[in-house]
Amino acid sequence: MQVGLLQESELMPGMDCAQRYWEMIEEVALADRLGFSCWGTSEQHFSPPRFAVSAPEVLYAAVAQHTENIRLRVMCTVLLSWNHPILVAERLATLDIVSKGRAELATARSNNLYTMEGFGVDPKTTREQWADGIEVIAKAFTDDMLEHDGPIWKIPPREVVPKPVQKPHPPLSVAASSAASHLMAGERGIGCLCFESYFGFAYLQECIDAYREGLAKGTQMAPRRTEHMGLYVATAFCAETREEAQRIAHDVAMGYYQFLVDIYVPLGKQSSYEYLDDKLQRLVDHRDDFDYLLSQTPSIMIGTPDDFVERIERLEAMGVDEILMRIDGVPHGDIMKSFELIGREVIPRVSAKVEVA
């Protein structure tokens, strides 16, 4: 099992982006020394204070200069019309160069109607835009001369530089919430990062099984095959006692959960997101139930090192390869202490030295 990190520059009261960015750089440098597998941040727009990284590749270039071993995974680049796939490929290849071959690309089609509206994107078209965009990126990484004639992107022959350091290209993956998207990721031979939105362990198992089913077909869309089942843990915090961990992380856990309820309820009514609709009542019913979130969803990990090990071992038995913990939205000093505790008392007990395929 690998243990990685997701941070999104959540801004506490009185804090600006400049302060939080430099805090995160210091936090990632510590995570690098402690043996975390990867670090990443999502691409978010118009959504402070919960999310405050809109140009992740720029931030990653700075992080690369303060780290040596930790993988730098963009989690995730939204492959919709405001992100031309050629630009995505060029920026990721540049990051791969300046990080000396540590870059990875995770992609998404967005779950935020507010962001889509800001950029003028029809939510009915997001699946098609994502699928065509990732095809272009795979070609841009590997083809001497890129040419593409797809349903979204029409690109005449062009030479794209730079090329990534990693050959044939960095690992590719997609963030997924539905079992159908997990199946598709497996069929394409790319990694899958499950953002299962608090729907419970049984639903997570459905998604994992769908991914393994897709992988079993042995097909792939890119020269490099990536077999990797990751799980986003939306709020994580580790402390010496459960009481301390819950005291520090309660507000950020409940705030993040409320935010997700608010975006998923309207999203579930949209075409191509219908899979959400029959599960949303579960989210609404438990929107104020902290104890339920702690025990009944894999999207929350708040507790002691022993609690973390127990949960991680359960998830590993289900088929998860990597835990991606969002430790954010609490004071910088508390984040550093949590990292230290996980690095000393959790990672040595659960991690395996396994490279991403």
- The CATH code of the domain that includes 299 is 3.20.20.30
The span from the CA of 234 to the CA of 48, in Å, is: 17
Residue 303 lies in a domain: yes
Alpha helices, DSSP H, located in 217-331:
242-267, 280-285, 290-296, 305-318
Residue with tokens 């062009």: 158
Domain assignment present for residue 355? The answer is no
Q: Is residue 357 part of a domain?
A: no
> Is 281 part of any domain?
yes
Cα distance from N-terminal residue to C-terminal residue, the chain:
14
The predicted model scores a pTM of: 0.91
In a domain, 102, yes or no: yes
Task: Quote the domain boundaries for residue 233.
Answer: 2-350
What is the predicted pLDDT for the residue at 356? 46
pLDDT at position 357, please?
46
Q: According to the model, what pLDDT value does residue 199 have?
A: 86
Give the pLDDT band of residue 197 (cuts 50, 70, 90): low
Q: Exposure pattern of 125-152 as b/e (b: 16+ CB <10 Å)?
A: bbbebbbbbbbbbbbbbbbeebebeeeb
- Whether the pLDDT of residue 265 is over 70: the answer is no
The total of structural domains in the chain comes to: 1
Mean of the per-residue pLDDT values for the chain?
Answer: 92
Answer whether residue 111 is part of any domain: yes
CA distance readout (Å), 120 to 35, 53, 155: 41, 20, 22
269-281 pLDDT tens trace? 655 555 555 666 7
Question: 356 in a domain, yes or no?
Answer: no
Inter-residue contact 104 to 137 (CB < 8 Å): no
Contact 92, 103 (CB under 8 A): yes
Tell me, yes or no, whether 224 lies in a domain: yes
Amino acid of residue 73: R
Give the pLDDT of residue 279.
Answer: 64
Measure the CA–CA gap between 134 and 284, rounded to whole angstroms: 34
Mean of the pLDDT values across residues 208-228?
97
